[in-house]
Structure 1
Amino acid sequence: MTHPEVAALLARANRLGADPRNTNYAGGNASAKGKAEDPVTREPVDLLWVKGSGGDLGTLTEAGLAALRLDRLRALADTCPGVEREDEMVAAFDYCLHGKGGAAPSIDTAMHGLLDAAHVDHLHPDAGIAFATAADGEALTKACFGDRVAWVPWRRPGFQLGLDIAAVRAANPAAIGVILGGHGITAWGETSAECEANSLEIIARAQAYLDEHGAAEPFGAAIPGYAPLPTAERHDRAAVLAPVVRGLASTDNRQIGHYTDSDVVLDFLAREKHPALAALGTSCPDHFLRTKVRPLVLDLPPTAPIEDAIARLRELHAAYRDDYRAYYDRHADPDSPPMRGADPAIVLVPGVGMFSFGKDKQTARVAGEFYVNAINVMRGAEAVSAYAPIEEREKFRIEYWALEEAKLHRMPPPKPLAGRVALVTGGGSGIGRAIARRLAAEGACVVVADRDAESAERVAREIGAVAATADVTDEHAVAAAFQRAALAFCGVDLVVNNAGLSISKSLLDTTAADWDRQHDVLAKGSFLVSREAARLLIAQGMGGDIVYISSKNSVFAGPNNLAYGAAKADQAHQVRLLAAELGEHGIRVNGVNPDGVVRGSGIFAGGWGAQRAAVYGVPEEELGAFYAQRTLLKREVLPEHVAAAVFALTGGDLSHTTGLHIPVDAGVAAAFLR
């Protein structure tokens, strides 16, 4: 049964974390203190329940709490070896755990345990951080809050910061909380309701002060020619730039991207102060860890020729990498972790928006959200003072903190397709659906493309993917599907030509319309998809994969199958031709030749099954078994088997293979490749 104080804590945390005005995703923490039974002595003991490392307030559950003995935690204050060795105290938290302890305690555990208050919130509201990063933040805090909120100068999160806040509370009994210089806010109360009310009061009063006393245009005048482009033009330009930027941001480590064109970002980039403010970087540790020391900012107007913008981005990226290496060299010592990568996490393009990057979609999205928070913080600080984030040396100490490095090492190994973006045509049903599911399960970000929008959306919802409506016979629709991938993930790495249909007729019964329809979807459709894929992959400069779902019929001469077999043979040779042409760009092109995929197949369900059953003189419901019996292995081929072959080609073990066709037919000797 959930302890009453824990229930109150979780409800409060979820409410606070659900509102981005209070804190960012996975940012801040909350705690409660209370008595519970010791599992050994059966005696009541004082406990601290606090959000564990890596959790999110908005979605926090009891499993995400660390539970510690308060007497043991507070006893650490007498044994702390000093600020230079305070990181050692994190390991000591494990010896304070109650029972099995729950989640791993975070670095902020001391802040909550050492404070003499039953409930504590530590949050990162934009309004509060605006005060925390203002050049005269302490004076502003006094002017806004009087004695109700105290000021704590910047200190890196840790045990000593917990001692500092506890001392400030003891010296200011009327205070309901503190502004943490360069960082955020902490509030407290004797009940959960009082603590929440105090947190919200600090945030609301800080915002009201900024609104009442702030300058009208804190980012300065608008820069002529830097106004946001119209929406459609903005998205077209973003889709062209996205794969280029993603390729640059993935120079050291492959990244997934996220594109944002919110009004907050576009207005910031249209104002005269944005270059100088962006160069100062972010301040709050949670923000900074995800956005790096500073963003890369394109210094051209949005109407500059796209070729000039791309060339300038490449120049700025090279300079950014040099600057980042110099930053690392300035501050690293022999004990510092090795440099993790010199590429930007945030790229700002005036008139277009922001590209943010991370190891997966969520990390990329959160990095962008944090930079929006940072813009709001800059606006607030500049409105009433001057933005003055923590100094560069402190940023380095956080970015290359041994505790952060240890957290990275504790993370599970990435899945085989992590960091890769896949686009699957015909992904709304049958083989395409099975491929999309498998690629998503292996860690890929997936775009499910299908002419049936409802089917594409349904599969996308099932696997947490993005849907795109695309008729592969229409080059504009194909281009739009790839634009969808570019705007959703900033690129694509793996394209599966799966869209298809089948018409089973004899030569004399095959009409010109039958022929054209088959070749439009299979031959022309694959060509259009591969051409658009190649454009994006080459711009991205990261290599990639194109996989054709061809057929046993590309090499096997079956009855009443002229148009389909000829179109499949066209697809099969496209694999060879494109493998030869695109190899110099690191793009591998391979094929899969299935046969007799009856169960779960959209093609067979659409009439092809009945036609083929009639050709072979068997009931349609027995067609799969019939196909199985004519194979060497006597096994039926399912969509999942085709999906497994696609993964085998793209999962990493066949990195030096291109121009290959893999049969997935349970063994059809007449279709052996030779």
Structure 2
Amino acid sequence: MSDRGSGRGVVVTGGGNGIGRAIAARLAAAGDRVVVADLDGDAVRAVAAEIGGFAVVGDAASEDGVAALVAAARDHLGVIDIWFGNAGIDRGRGLDASEVEWARSWDVNVMAHVRAARLLIPEWIERAESNPPSLRSPGGRFVVTASAAGLLTMLGTPTYSTTKHAVIGFAEWLSATYRHRGVVVQAICPQGVRTRIFDDAGPLQDLLAHDGALTPEQLADSVWEALGDERFLILPHPEVAGYYATRATQTDRWLGGMNKIQRGLEQQGAL
């Protein structure tokens, strides 16, 4: 399971566009068997045809949708070795974000991962523990696309910031609870990536691109490299590690800096 490009069974949600599409293509090119899932049927079928993968159309966030995706992927792959929980949304701005926007953000950005983990991790533990200690290898790998917003924050959008923090918290809990039982958990935390969310960020684009806006293919290369080990944080923008350390050790200084950026954006009429 740990050897990259060895015909592993991989599922990528949100695989019809952007980061998910790039990750799916990168792994398929290396020899992995890839199931791509997305609500956008035309897009995900096109990706599957392009990379030689298998398309599943549906909602990878709802309880029934996740269950249907896992069942379809197991039927096609036999065994799921890696799950990329990549589907994510950015809905609502400021305190005016509606109850519907909060609920949908929570469902897609957090509960989709909880629902997938419930179905995947018991089987992975059983697989890992079925091998003798001398041959013990990971039973499965659970990778979430969390964003640097999950480690820091994202001005303007409390729904996105809060739910991305929450999925980091859930991924940390999974790792702390199950890493000794054969489950590898990783969190992808980039800053600016040229996807639809970046394109729709408006005045926040400059903030997202502070350390360079990556293409989805560049991010996929970083993910591919990180699959060679078991590091928790995958940081395509290495500068995020320094910001994260400052946030943890000099919290008021960090918050003051973020508030200065907020005030600047307000003066520009951007927020």
Indicate which of 66, 87, 110 corresponds to 1:478.
Answer: 66
Higher RCO structure (Cα 8 Å, ≥6 apart): 2
**Is the 2:171–2:185 Cα contact (8 Å) retained in structure 1?**
yes
Between the aligned partners of 1:538 and 1:602, the Cα distance in structure 2 is: 36
Between the aligned partners of 1:569 and 1:452, the Cα distance in structure 2 is: 26
RMSD over equivalenced CA pairs, Å: 2.2
Corresponding residue of 1:64? none
CA shift for structure 1 position 538: 3.2
CA shift for structure 1 position 514: 1.4
Q: What code does the residue aligned with 1:571 have? A: V
Between the aligned partners of 2:193 and 2:186, the Cα distance in structure 1 is: 20
Q: How does 1:501-580 map to 2 (within 5 A)?
A: 501-507=89-95, 509-541=96-128, 543-580=139-176
Indicate which of 233, 250, 271 corresponds to 1:661.
Answer: 233
Give secondary structure in 2 for the equivalent of 1:603.
helix
Q: Which has the higher helix share?
A: 2
Between the aligned partners of 1:517 and 1:671, the Cα distance in structure 2 is: 29
Indicate which of 606, 623, 645 corresponds to 2:222.
Answer: 645
CA shift for structure 1 position 669: 7.0
CA shift for structure 1 position 511: 1.5
**Is the 2:109–2:167 Cα contact (8 Å) retained in structure 1?**
yes
**CA shift digits 1:75-132 (9 cap, x unpaired):** xxxxxxxxxxxxxxxxxxxxxxxxxxxxxxxxxxxxxxxxxxxxxxxxxxxxxxxxxx
Q: What code does the residue aligned with 1:603 have? A: I
Between the aligned partners of 1:563 and 1:626, the Cα distance in structure 2 is: 18
Between the aligned partners of 2:241 and 2:122, the Cα distance in structure 1 is: 38
Between the aligned partners of 1:569 and 1:643, the Cα distance in structure 2 is: 22
CA shift for structure 1 position 626: 6.3
Q: How does 1:123-522 map to 2 (within 5 A)?
A: 416-507=4-95, 509-522=96-109
Between the aligned partners of 1:644 and 1:602, the Cα distance in structure 2 is: 19
Between the aligned partners of 2:37 and 2:126, the Cα distance in structure 1 is: 21
Q: How does 1:580-599 map to 2 (within 5 A)?
A: 580-598=176-194
Give secondary structure in 2 for the equivalent of 1:473.
coil
Corresponding residue of 2:261? none
Give secondary structure in 2 for the equivalent of 1:459.
helix
**Is the 2:10–2:83 Cα contact (8 Å) retained in structure 1?**
yes
The structure with the larger Rg is 1
**Is the 1:500–1:603 Cα contact (8 Å) retained in structure 2?**
no
CA shift for structure 1 position 666: 5.9
**Is the 2:89–2:105 Cα contact (8 Å) retained in structure 1?**
yes
Between the aligned partners of 1:486 and 1:494, the Cα distance in structure 2 is: 12
CA shift for structure 1 position 439: 0.9
Give secondary structure in 2 for the equivalent of 1:568.
helix
Between the aligned partners of 1:602 and 1:428, the Cα distance in structure 2 is: 12
Between the aligned partners of 2:36 and 2:243, the Cα distance in structure 1 is: 30
**Is the 2:62–2:107 Cα contact (8 Å) retained in structure 1?**
no
For structure 1, which runs of at least 5 residues remain unmatched after alignment? 1-253, 255-414, 617-622
Between the aligned partners of 2:165 and 2:151, the Cα distance in structure 1 is: 7
| Identical positions, percent | 31
Between the aligned partners of 2:238 and 2:217, the Cα distance in structure 1 is: 13
**Is the 1:492–1:536 Cα contact (8 Å) retained in structure 2?**
no
**Is the 1:505–1:561 Cα contact (8 Å) retained in structure 2?**
yes
Between the aligned partners of 1:526 and 1:532, the Cα distance in structure 2 is: 10
**Is the 2:8–2:81 Cα contact (8 Å) retained in structure 1?**
yes
Q: What code does the residue aligned with 1:492 have? A: I
For structure 2, which runs of at least 5 residues remain unmatched after alignment? 129-137, 249-271
Between the aligned partners of 2:218 and 2:237, the Cα distance in structure 1 is: 9
**Is the 2:223–2:234 Cα contact (8 Å) retained in structure 1?**
no
- When the two structures are aligned, how many residues end up with a matched partner? 236
Between the aligned partners of 1:539 and 1:491, the Cα distance in structure 2 is: 12
Give secondary structure in 2 for the equivalent of 1:664.
coil
**Is the 2:124–2:182 Cα contact (8 Å) retained in structure 1?**
no
Between the aligned partners of 1:475 and 1:671, the Cα distance in structure 2 is: 35
CA shift for structure 1 position 539: 4.5
**CA shift digits 1:147-195 (9 cap, x unpaired):** xxxxxxxxxxxxxxxxxxxxxxxxxxxxxxxxxxxxxxxxxxxxxxxxx
**Is the 2:150–2:164 Cα contact (8 Å) retained in structure 1?**
yes
Between the aligned partners of 1:666 and 1:585, the Cα distance in structure 2 is: 29
Between the aligned partners of 2:74 and 2:126, the Cα distance in structure 1 is: 12
Normalising to structure 1: TM-score of the pair?
0.33
Q: What code does the residue aligned with 1:534 have? A: I
Between the aligned partners of 2:223 and 2:180, the Cα distance in structure 1 is: 22
CA shift for structure 1 position 662: 2.1
Between the aligned partners of 1:580 and 1:422, the Cα distance in structure 2 is: 23
Give secondary structure in 2 for the equivalent of 1:546.
strand
Corresponding residue of 2:265? none
Q: How does 1:96-111 map to 2 (within 5 A)?
A: none
**Is the 1:438–1:647 Cα contact (8 Å) retained in structure 2?**
yes
Q: What code does the residue aligned with 2:214 have? A: V
Q: How does 1:115-126 map to 2 (within 5 A)?
A: none
